[in-house]
Amino acid sequence: MAEVTFGGSAEEVSLEEVGLRYEVDGKIATITLDRPEKRNAQTFATWSALARIGDSLPQQVRVVVIRGEGPSFSAGIDLRMFTPEGVPGQGSFAASALLDGATFEQRLARAQQGFLWLRRPDIVSVAAVQGHAIGAGFQLALACDLRVLADDAKLCMKEPALGLVPDLTGTKPLVDLVGLSRAIEICLTARTVGAEEAARIGLAELVVAPGELGQAVEDLTAALLAVDRDAATATKRLLQGASGRTLEEQCVAEGREQAVRLRALFT
């Protein structure tokens, strides 16, 4: 298994400093939130590092697993952001509030890049969630294609309770998965959704005992890798586009993808 590190430019900190581990083992990349003593709290540097990983993901990688070390997947944004001092070197919400609109949007867009690449059609991303996934933690799990939960998982969109909105790409996948009414109820009460409910309402593909989480993700990964890559990529692309197309448009899109597959397989 290759340990991958970033040399980084002056303004970029190492993955270790950010509290991330990143390992590539053939077709599988594993990203571990690795600040268990702070329940894997995230900062802007976390999201920037995730974006860098996405930018440089080796071409052979087909499955990306995101997991958290320790009892929690992630307790969300580092609460120091709410203090006047903020997170050293990364500012505070009070400082962000003073940014002009364009600068704020640019900074947020970079943070969101850390989440958006997980939807790329040529990979499948899997979140392995145990314990708390709060705020940015819940949104990171939502950024993945699939979620495997330990039965102690607790999902919470805490942002509205803190006077904020979820802005790390989580609102659309949440609505897509559970529907508008349930998404409103979950977010605007900021309540905790347990693993059993999460599976029932479409937020998890699988719920297992905490000790079986690693094996369950390995089994899922093996099944995903058993399918032809180009067919998987084309199928994911079709499925991702389905909700934005009419049935007739989707039929045309299916035909286009299949024509490419047939030529690749039989000519």
Site of interaction with ligand CAA (CB under 6 A)? 38-39, 41, 71-72, 75-79, 132, 134-136, 158-159, 162, 164
Give the integer Cα–Cα distance in Å for 11 and 3.
22
The dihedrals phi and psi of 158, each to the nearest 5 degrees, come to -80, -15
CA distances from 92 to 139, 164, 178, 257 (A): 20, 14, 32, 47
Strand partners, 31: 22, 66
What DSSP character marks residue 215?
Answer: H
Least distance (Å) between residue 197 CB and ligand CAA: 18
Least distance (Å) between residue 88 CB and ligand CAA: 13
Among 12, 98, 97, smallest CA distance to 50 is for 12
SS3 category, 10: coil
> Smaller CB distance to ligand CAA: residue 92 or 233?
92
> Smaller CB distance to ligand CAA: residue 36 or 214?
36
Least distance (Å) between residue 167 CB and ligand CAA: 7
> Smaller CB distance to ligand CAA: residue 15 or 134?
134
Q: Closest residue (Cβ) to ligand CAA?
A: 135
The Cβ-side half-sphere exposure at 93, using a 13 Å CA radius, reads: 12
Least distance (Å) between residue 37 CB and ligand CAA: 6
Structure tokens given for 194: 């347990």
> Smaller CB distance to ligand CAA: residue 77 or 127?
77
Least distance (Å) between residue 179 CB and ligand CAA: 23
- Cα dihedral sign, 193-216-208-132: negative
Least distance (Å) between residue 125 CB and ligand CAA: 19
For the chain, report the end-to-end CA distance as a whole number of angstroms.
Answer: 37
> Smaller CB distance to ligand CAA: residue 4 or 108?
108
> Smaller CB distance to ligand CAA: residue 27 or 80?
80
Least distance (Å) between residue 180 CB and ligand CAA: 21
> With 0-12 CB in 10 A as exposed, 13-18 as middle and 19+ as buried, what is 159?
buried
> Smaller CB distance to ligand CAA: residue 43 or 221?
43
Instruction: Answer yes or no: are the C-beta atoms of 139 and 203 closer than 8 Å.
Output: no
Among the residues of 66-100, which ranges form H helices?
93-96
